[in-house]
Chains A and B, each alone.
Chain A
């Protein structure tokens, strides 16, 4: 828990120690003061935010209950529909689209819980990237070192939370796009099980792997926001018809009954030493001595790359045909290449995905929680095309997904926890569970937070 966390703010507002309007006005002032340099926001909703905050105050004044996130400022990656705002999805092309007529389901649920939407956040174009070096809207800068990337594709989300502009943000994750910025910016990020949270009203990218989820400064905020966003949604065919399984009430359960293991092999190689030291620090705090080997992760990445490129290109085919030069140069050639992938490769990749899922299911018969690094190195410099990692020069951007991509490939729930004491740049560790077992993630992350091993890095 941190002084700026969302539930702390909501408690103060409900107790009338501060008004939602004052909280919102202060958050808007922070954005005005700091975002010129950080470039997290692509739209700030000053008027509607103040209006929504006043509504929360009015409900309280009338003796009503404005919700568990009463007056909590939040912001969303600009691929989420926000009524009245054009959904950019990081592009120039979508700027010509009409404004959305309704909120995305998860945005609506957060607002229904009393949270106050402050604006939309920068991202890689159409979510195709790990760095938020957006050529149309400029790069989002890491609050801990503005010469470095915030990660991506939900980079605006990670940086806005890490800079203390908002205590809560929404992102999306297809191959690592919540977890990578959470790790590089030093905040908590949840990618739930595939199908757990509704994607309705979110611009899609790789439909087989698209997830949405929160980034926050504390485990309890992550749980509280996740809890209010859960539930079936008939407007998203992928959203599971499962009842809510509240995680906030379970944070104090401990992990006495959970078998925690460290992923080795792929997840213990090709990274910087401090990354593996962070995993060991977390493992030690949890008493995790077991090692497990998930097989064929390079092939999992290969298959995920084929599926992502094919599905992403398919979604944007009309624009690729009619106006390819309006795409961001950072994504354009990759989208065009994806349009040319033979269908047989796509099907082969989907078949491998089923094989890989079975192998990982076998591992979860003997372990409940796995630990793995989130990224192989801390935030690289903006514009850095290559990086030397473990003595090998590699392309910077795709390498950021080395450890995240195989896990989202099969839809596993993951929390990236920020490791306390990482210096000078934040690092994250992935806490991974079997499908639908988000509760195990939250219980584990809460133990780490209480032990002081996981803590958000907020840049003042």
Chain B
């Protein structure tokens, strides 16, 4: 059966480029107040760890060529 081959080796979050944990903590500290979020001190480390994972997931998608894809939500006025 013909299928589209994987265009790149299996990516992993661990293989993502350098997301320094200190940078992520700084991002959390600086951006959260700007959108009205108070990160409780006991959550700071966990939030940064989870956000690092999400940003790494974004890096994984960043270099992948999806072509000219339109994804606007359908909105009927």
Contact = CB atoms under 8 A, between A and B. Distances in A.
B32 interface: yes
A296 interface: yes
Contact of B64 (A299, A321, A339, A363): A299
Given A305-B57, A345-B61, A293 B37 contact: no
A321 B27 CA distance: 17
Contacts of A351: 66, 69, 71
Contacts of B27: 340
Given A261-B1, A351-B71, A367-B1, A338 B54 contact: yes
A interface secondary structure, majority = helix
B2 interface: yes
A320 interface: yes
A12 to B, nearest CB: 47
Interface string A274-301: 0000000000000000111111101100
A258 interface: no
Contacts of B70: 354
B61 A302 contact: yes
Interface string A309-349: 10000000000110011000000111011111110010111
A82 B13 CA distance: 41
Contacts of A355: 66-67, 69
A444 B4 CA distance: 26
Contacts of A325: 40
A242 interface: no
Contacts of B4: 295, 359, 362
B10 A337 contact: no
B27 to A, nearest CB: 7
Interface string A363-386: 100110000000000000000000
A363 B3 contact: yes
B71 A333 contact: no
A196 interface: no
B5 A295 contact: yes
Contacts of A333: 43, 46-47, 49-50
Interface footprint category on A = 35 or more
B36 interface: yes
A350 interface: yes
Contacts of B32: 336, 339-340
B11 interface: yes
Interface string B1-31: 1111111001111000000000000011001
Interface in B25-77: 27-28, 31-32, 35-40, 43, 46-51, 53-55, 57-58, 60-62, 64, 66-67, 69-71
A303 B38 contact: no
A352 to B, nearest CB: 5
A353 interface: yes
Nearest to B28: A340
Contacts of B11: 298-299
Given A302-B60, A348-B61, A324 B10 contact: no
A6 interface: no
A306 interface: yes
B54 A298 contact: no
Contacts of B40: 324-325
Interface of A: 261, 265, 290-296, 298-299, 302-303, 305-306, 309, 320-321, 324-325, 332-334, 336-342, 345, 347-355, 359, 362-363, 366-367
5 contacts: A305-B57, A340-B31, A340-B37, A355-B66, A362-B3
Given A290-B1, A339-B32, A351-B69, 16 more contacts: A293-B6, A296-B64, A305-B53, A309-B54, A324-B37, A324-B43, A332-B46, A333-B46, A337-B47, A337-B51, A340-B37, A341-B54, A341-B58, A342-B58, A352-B61, A354-B66
